[in-house]
Amino acid sequence: MHETTVAANIIDIVRNSIPSGDLAKIAAIRLKVGLLANVMKDSLLFSFNSLKENTPFPSAILEINEMPLIIKCLDCEKENTGNDFIFCCPACRSTHIEVTGGDELSISEIIINPD
Amino acid sequence: MSTITVERKILEKNDIIAGQLREEFNSKGIFVVNPLSSPGAGKTSLIEKLSGCLNKKINISVIVGDLQTDNDAKRIDALGIPVVQIITNGACHLDANLVRDAYKELKGKPELLIIENVGNLVCPAGFDLGEHYKIVLLSTTEGDDKPLKYPVVFRNSSVLLINKTDLLPYVNCSIDTMKKNALSVNPALKIFEISCFTGDGINEFAQWLKDNIHR
């Protein structure tokens, strides 16, 4: 996945989520990045750390919460959480599953320093 | 320290445009597919072959993306199909914004719009272009383990076209293994075995397209 595009989008969203007077106080930006998002954590950190130099928040840290793949079996209704690309129920071996977690690529929270 | 809850998708800008495109396509009765593959797996050849089966019966238009050249657009234009070439100058995938701009220039009143993505099995998988279905092409020369190596594109696609079946006698590829690997990642994948060189299997896929156009 295009980590530079993702980093640039993060910066845009942050700029229009926080009042401009508070941007310099941003301490951290928390992300949820699921296994299925196809984003490499180190590459994203590298891209973000390069781009943030030209923003009002050059000291902001990106905190990346890597979210596992969660599948729910539509036959036996068991849920399974893991970090491999397995789309088959480990309990009953059914492939009749739905993905209920692991496709996140979002900004969850922004942490602001006090004045 | 204060914590501001944001909960916004990082690709939301793309998704909003893609949603608008999908509404536009639905309102105009246009069925839209987005073929994805590695470079050289046969996306443009597929369009050439499909035009032979479908073009007299179904109005087709094409948007095609490449880093450089309009070679693909020239091939499609030679078939009499309205086409717009997107030159990305380095972007390795199409996004909804690029497709929206190209769609504004597209001529014709298509029933079927084919948005041929940039050759790449990674990045295009994650970008919604407003299509109804992503279709992944994998050729027999690429190896039967590719669905396991690139699970996201196979997961996000609805159809797998296994191309270059005419080359099976010359390559170390098992169709059965390829299908088993693909279905292990996405059990709902509809699989067609085709050869854009000989034309084998193209009619069956063309029928699938026709069935969906008329839905």
Q: Structural domain boundaries of chain A?
A: 2-110
Q: What is the CATH number of domain A2-110?
A: 3.30.2320.80
Task: For residue A79, report the phi and psi dihedrals to the nearest 5 degrees.
Answer: -105, 140
| pLDDT of amino acid B90 | 79
CA-CA distance, A100 to B96, in Å (whole number)?
25
Among A85, A96, A108, beta carbon nearest to B7: A108
Residue type, A66: E
Token pair recorded at residue A18: 């926080």
Q: In the numeric block, which tokens belong to residue B132?
A: 């109804």
Task: Supply the mean pLDDT for chain A.
Answer: 93
* 8 Å CB contact of A6 and B125: no
Mean pLDDT, residues A29-57 taken together: 95
Q: Of the candidates A18, A38, A96, which has its C-beta nearest B152's C-beta?
A: A38
Q: What are the start-end ranges of the H helices in chain A?
A: 3-15, 41-51
Task: Please identify which residue in the block is written with the tokens 């209704």.
Answer: A77
Interstrand relation of A69-73 and A97-101 (parallel, antiparallel or unpaired): antiparallel
Kindly tell me if the per-residue pLDDT of A79 is higher than 90: yes
Lookup: tokens for A19:
């009042």
The pLDDT of A99-111, averaged and rounded, is 96
At residue A1, the pLDDT reads: 59
Q: Which chain A residues are Cβ-neighbours of B91 within 8 angstroms? A: 2
Q: Looking at residue A67, what is its pLDDT?
A: 96
pTM comes to: 0.90
Stretches where chain B sits below pLDDT 70 are 55
